[in-house]
Amino acid sequence: MFVIISILLVVLTGITIYFIVDTKKTQTVEKPPYVPEFQDEQLQKKMLREAQICTESVMTTFDKMLDYSEGSIRILDQVINELYKKKSLSQGSLDRLIVTFGAYFGQTFLNNQSGMWFQHPNFNLPIIFSPKALFEFSPFEIIKQKFQYIEKYDLYIAYQDLVRQYIKRLNELRS
């Protein structure tokens, strides 16, 4: 009788441990990105306007044209390099430039790939989200990196890397 009770206790303990470990495994599995239920048209317009401010400012200040092509990301990179060499920027000016240049960078991705601006609940600034690829990124973080590492950080390479990640994600979801 003692042997049967001992075996039952061992089996019950094993089952309990199995379910505890299994529960922890499912909790650590990466959750898919937050998927918005609708597209916020006001946010789309606001970010497009911010990107247009960038194109107008670059044209008037640097006499360079940004046309939302992938190649124009190189021009944006040059503009940031020139701007950083010419002026010492206050934190307020830097924050404003990050928003303006980030909006242009993000809008260029949207125009050439797909997605939308999305105000994610975990971020202060909107992000780019592509429901088709379940792909998201913050163009503002990329611009911050550029200002942080000025000469060592190339926006065009960062953009091409994003496009590669996006296409890879699309292909993964298709297969």
CA pseudo-torsion sign 75, 102, 143, 138: negative
Residue 70's pLDDT is 95
Side chain identity, residue 140: F
Degrees to nearest 5, angle at CA 52 with 55 and 155? 55
**Paired tokens of 85:** 């060499």
> Distance between CA atoms of 29 and 15, rounded to whole angstroms?
21
**Paired tokens of 115:** 């997605």
> Distance between CA atoms of 30 and 45, rounded to whole angstroms?
32
> Distance between CA atoms of 160 and 1, rounded to whole angstroms?
70
Model pTM score: 0.78
Which residues in the chain land under pLDDT 50? 23-31
Looking at domain 41-174, its CATH architecture is Up-down Bundle (1.20)
Residue 8's pLDDT is 54
Residue 159's pLDDT is 97
Residue extents of the structural domains in the chain: 1-30, 41-174
Q: Which residues have a Cβ under 8 Å from the Cβ of 48 and sit 6 or more positions away?
A: 103, 107
8 A C-beta contact, residue 43 and residue 117 = yes
Residue 31's pLDDT is 44
